[in-house]
Amino acid sequence: MMKITSKYTLLIFLSIAISLGFEGCKSKKNVARQVAATEYAQKVKKAKRDLQAILNDDGRMSIEEKEKILNKTKALNLNEPEVLMMIREAEDMIAKEKAEAERKRIEKEKEAASKIKLSNNEMLDLYFNQIASASSVELANQKIIDVLQMFASSGIPVLIIISQEGGITDYDKPTTIGKYLNYLKDQKKNINAIENIGYDNNGKIIELELIKK
């Protein structure tokens, strides 16, 4: 009788232990799920906060900073409708800012090129005046050598406008920059103004258009 009772007691303890084991496993799984859910919720919250910072930016963040935050958020692969919508909005915003930045860059380059052109116009006109007013042939020749450094060659064409009327432009007989500089030296007068200058890829003058003052 004692042996039978002992067996039943052992079975009861085993049943209780197994039951507690199952409950423990369930509890651990629940805890793990809760932890995962909490971590996911925190990621979603942070993603929304970061994306909102991009969308609300007033110019303090650079495009590179915004892209870095956006890419980091996208790498989380959060399948949340609101997050996905905010990602699309941020992408559109960054694309527009990039386009605007590129437009400004091109405009800035054009302005810089325009300033260089104006500077060259002034420098060229100064050389012409110096050649025409040189106190000696030697000085005039030196100025000619100096100014020719701005041209691709001494044979670059020089066109001189003598009249413009009704959309029609009349030119004097074509000449070259080499001949024109010697003409200034001989005549000792600079009677033409610079109308237009053409450049090659190296910044050298390949075409010069003048107009009578």
- Assess if residue 93 is contained within a domain: no
Structure pTM? 0.48
Residue 93, phi then psi, degrees to nearest 5: -65, -45
Q: How many domains does the chain have?
A: 2
> Helix H segments across the chain?
2-55, 63-74, 81-132, 137-148, 177-187
Residues 6 or more apart in contact with residue 18 via CB below 8 angstroms: none
| pLDDT recorded at residue 146 | 94
**What average pLDDT does the chain have?**
86
| pLDDT recorded at residue 34 | 79
Cα–Cα–Cα angle for 46, 50, 52, rounded to 5 degrees = 115
The letter for the amino acid at 116 is I
pLDDT confidence tier of residue 118, bands split at 50, 70 and 90: low
Instruction: Among 29, 64, 79, give the residue marking a domain's end.
Output: 79
Mean pLDDT of all residues in 3-10 = 52
pLDDT confidence tier of residue 165, bands split at 50, 70 and 90: confident
pLDDT digits (tens, 9 = 90+) for 59-114: 899 999 999 999 999 999 998 999 999 999 999 999 999 999 999 999 888 877 77
Handedness of CA 16, 21, 24, 25 (dihedral sign): negative
Q: Do 74 and 120 sit in the same domain of this protein?
A: no
Instruction: Among 30, 53, 79, give the residue marking a domain's end.
Output: 79
Q: Which percentage of the chain shows pLDDT scores above 90?
A: 63
The letter for the amino acid at 194 is I
CA distance 153 to 32: 81
Structural domain of 134: 116-212
Handedness of CA 33, 38, 41, 46 (dihedral sign): negative
- Assess if residue 33 is contained within a domain: yes
- Assess if residue 74 is contained within a domain: yes
- Assess if residue 106 is contained within a domain: no
The residue assigned the tokens 């979603």 is 44
pLDDT confidence tier of residue 42, bands split at 50, 70 and 90: very high
Is the pLDDT assigned to residue 162 strictly greater than 80?
yes
The letter for the amino acid at 137 is V
Q: Do 134 and 198 sit in the same domain of this protein?
A: yes
Is the pLDDT assigned to residue 37 strictly greater than 90?
no
Q: Do 121 and 202 sit in the same domain of this protein?
A: yes
CA distance 172 to 158: 10
Q: Do 120 and 199 sit in the same domain of this protein?
A: yes
